[in-house]
Chains A and B, each alone.
Chain A
Amino acid sequence: MKTSFFKKTDILILFFVLLLSFAIMLPFLTKEPAQTATVRRYGEVIDTVTLSEREERIYTFEEGDVRVLFSKKGVSVLSSPCAGKDCVHRGEVSEEGGGIFCLPLGFSVTLSGERAEDAVTG
């Protein structure tokens, strides 16, 4: 008598195993929530901003104030007390995982999400 390789219970077990695997994967497949910007000073988080309406925030340090503009599109540094103003000249950053870094002040604003590159040298 010919018997099939899989019994009904085997198929049921296989179904539940696949369902379990999918459940493990699911958190990594879903998109990030609404984009946020994380503000750091010397590596410590000092602010987290949900990017929605246009909003300007001022961060006051002993060196002076850093003015940052947040919007749905992204983030930009409007003014900074640093000498080079590279952070200001950077302009608006909108790509996921992107950021603006002011080395002299140890100040950074980074957007949530994954960048195309894991890191950048140079």
Chain B
Amino acid sequence: MKSCRSLSFLSFLLGCLLVLSSCSGRYIHEEGYAMGTFLAVSAQTEQTAKEILPLASALENEISHRVEGSAIARLNAGEEVLLTDRTRDVLLLCLEIKEKTNGAFTPFMLPLTSLWHFDATPSLPDPSALAEAVAEVEQSSLSLSGNVAKVHGKIDLGAVGKGMAAEYMAQALREAGESGLVSVGGSIAAVGKKNGEGWRVGVRDPFDSAKTLGALSLSDACVSTSGSYEKNFTEGEAFYHHILDASTGMPVYNDLVSVTVVADGGALSDILSTAAFVLGMEAGRALCESYGAEVLFVTSDGTLYATEGFLALFTPAEEWEVLPL
């Protein structure tokens, strides 16, 4: 009886201590820069946050076509390259989605993206150069034998790199046994929960970059957004943005201004957000659903449409209403 009472009392004390201590979980926040964009890591320890941050640069050195000696740069130079598992896997995913979208999404876009220079000073390409690049993109292919790859054409992983980096850094967080949040440009990966609740991830308002359309509550998921507002220029009265139609070499002109995708993986969310933008709402939604991903479309007239699963995660800002797809 006495021992039972003591045990109960000790358990009660321990419970008090644990509950009160756990309510005060704060995360360490570190910021950085890689892949031409800003990075942020929120982790439970400073050591983990500092260790994870440089992983984006390491990945950039592997997959950026701009980095001399990277796997992708060497592939683009015509070499046969032994790929890491992660680069092989992301290329296979790109090829799978290329096939599913009949080339609306393709990883072989470098001949086109290099003409537009959206990462530097963009300008309207010469029409004949554009036509030549379109043909080159269409004829591109990748041969893969195990991890050994050779490409006919030129690869640009700009549509997947940030999502891939977020996913890779999130994996490192998991392996460290911590919950946290990784942000690489607009691609975000949430690991676990923040003090018992989902991580709050805002979705940028494409019409006013200082505001958000609302917030997602995420845990163990990734989100990416593709939008015509991100990189663009105007020449005369014409508006040109960076999400290109591979069949014409020109920007995609549909009624979409942004597409946000929530998926299990960062690379997947990044690719799907681009592919869904190119495909348009109906086909884009079908593609996302085939991968178990949830999606939000914003149209040029300011209407928001979302899948049921996205709606379940999303709290719109007061001035916005989201219509179910």
Cβ contact within 8 Å between A43 and B209: no
Known: A10-B9, A17-B17, A106-B33. A117 touches B202 (CB 8 A): yes
* Candidates B31, B37, B53, B181; contact of A118 at CB < 8 Å: B181
Whole-angstrom CA separation of A105 from B69 in the bound complex? 24
Q: For this complex, into which size category does the number of interface residues on chain A fall?
A: 20 to 34
Which residue of A is nearest B298, CB measured? A122
CB distance from A39 to the nearest CB of B (A): 11
Residues of A within 8 A of B183 (CB): 119
Cβ contact within 8 Å between B260 and A121: yes
Cβ contact within 8 Å between B200 and A117: yes
Q: Mark B1-45, 1 if CB is under 8 A from A, else 0.
A: 000010001000100110011011010000111101111101000
**A:70-87 near B, CB below 8 Å:** 83, 86
Q: For this complex, into which size category does the number of interface residues on chain B fall?
A: 35 or more
Which residue of A is nearest B212, CB measured? A120
CB distance from A63 to the nearest CB of B (A): 12
* Candidates A86, A108, A121; contact of B203 at CB < 8 Å: A121
Segment of B100-108, B139-147, B220-228 engaged in the interface with chain A: B220-228
Residues of A within 8 A of B121 (CB): 83
Known: A42-B33, A43-B33. A122 touches B225 (CB 8 A): yes
**B:180-226 near A, CB below 8 Å:** 181, 183, 186-188, 194, 199-204, 206, 209-210, 212, 215-216, 223-225
* Candidates A13, A24, A43, A117; contact of B39 at CB < 8 Å: A43
Whole-angstrom CA separation of A14 from B198 in the bound complex? 33
B76 at the interface (CB under 8 A from A): no
**B:256-300 near A, CB below 8 Å:** 258, 260
A54 at the interface (CB under 8 A from B): no
A58 at the interface (CB under 8 A from B): no
Whole-angstrom CA separation of A114 from B91 in the bound complex? 38
Query: Which residue of A20, A110, A120 has the most chain B CB atoms within 10 A of its CB atom?
Result: A120
A60 at the interface (CB under 8 A from B): no
Residues of A within 8 A of B9 (CB): 6, 10
Q: Mark A1-25, 1 if CB is under 8 A from B, else 0.
A: 0000110001001100110111011
Whole-angstrom CA separation of A119 from B274 in the bound complex? 20
CB-CB nearest 8 A-B residue pairs: A122-B204, A43-B33, A43-B32, A21-B20, A122-B225, A117-B202, A120-B202, A28-B24
Extra 20 A-B pairs, beta carbons < 8 Å, given A118-B201, A121-B186: A24-B24, A25-B23, A40-B31, A40-B33, A83-B121, A101-B38, A103-B38, A117-B200, A118-B200, A119-B181, A119-B183, A119-B202, A120-B204, A120-B212, A121-B187, A121-B224, A122-B203, A122-B204, A122-B225, A122-B227
Give 14 pairs: A residue, B residue, CB < 8 Å, sorted on A. Answer: A14-B13, A14-B16, A17-B17, A18-B20, A44-B33, A90-B210, A106-B33, A119-B181, A119-B188, A119-B202, A121-B204, A121-B224, A122-B203, A122-B204
Chain B interface residues (CB < 8 Å from chain A): 5, 9, 13, 16-17, 20-21, 23-24, 26, 31-34, 36-40, 42, 53, 121, 181, 183, 186-188, 194, 199-204, 206, 209-210, 212, 215-216, 223-225, 227, 230, 258, 260
